[in-house]
């Protein structure tokens, strides 16, 4: 069973993702911004992080940079409603495995996570 950390300031987004991930038999933990997520990551040791890009306190790009500095093997999928290719490419260069567009499609989300986590799903 995969353990996934959802990082998003929007409670509704976290709730919808959590529901979808539970249907995939994933264990889920949550954080409302990157700063909290760094602490949660240390405690929960998730297999994968799904992280929004635009958040208060600590945005997703800063979170990704700091997480990868501490845990270079971390698996991260960025979540964004933006079409800013420069930011998305920056995330991939920093170590994100993929990105999902908001609103997220369940089939695309499952396929992306399955490609990354394989047998853990």
- Domain residue spans of the chain: 3-114
Q: How many angstroms separate the CA atoms of 36 and 53, rounded? A: 14
Q: How many angstroms separate the CA atoms of 53 and 80, rounded? A: 6
Q: What's the predicted TM-score (pTM) here?
A: 0.94
Q: Which residues contact 18 (CB under 8 A, 6 or more apart)?
A: 6, 28, 30
Q: Candidates 3.40.1190.20, 3.60.110.10, 3.20.20.70, 3.40.50.2300; correct CATH number of 3-114?
A: 3.40.50.2300
| Residue 60 neighbours by CB distance under 10 Å | 28
58-77, pLDDT tens digit by residue?
999 999 999 999 999 999 99
| Per-residue confidence (pLDDT) for residue 106, from 0 to 100 | 87
Cβ atoms of 2 and 41 closer than 8 Å: no
């Amino acid at each position: 069973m995969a353990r996934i950390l959802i990082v998003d300031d929007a409670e509704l987004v976290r709730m919808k993702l959590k529901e979808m991930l539970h249907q995939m038999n994933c264990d889920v933990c949550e954080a409302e911004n990157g700063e909290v997520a760094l602490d949660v990551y240390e405690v929960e040791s998730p297999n994968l992080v799904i992280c929004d890009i635009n958040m208060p306190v600590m945005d997703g790009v800063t979170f990704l940079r700091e997480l990868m500095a501490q845990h270079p093997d971390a698996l991260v999928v960025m979540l964004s409603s933006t079409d800013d290719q420069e930011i998305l490419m920056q995330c991939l260069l920093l170590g994100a495995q993929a990105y999902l567009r908001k609103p997220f499609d369940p089939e695309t989300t499952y396929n992306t996570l399955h490609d990354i986590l394989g047998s853990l799903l």
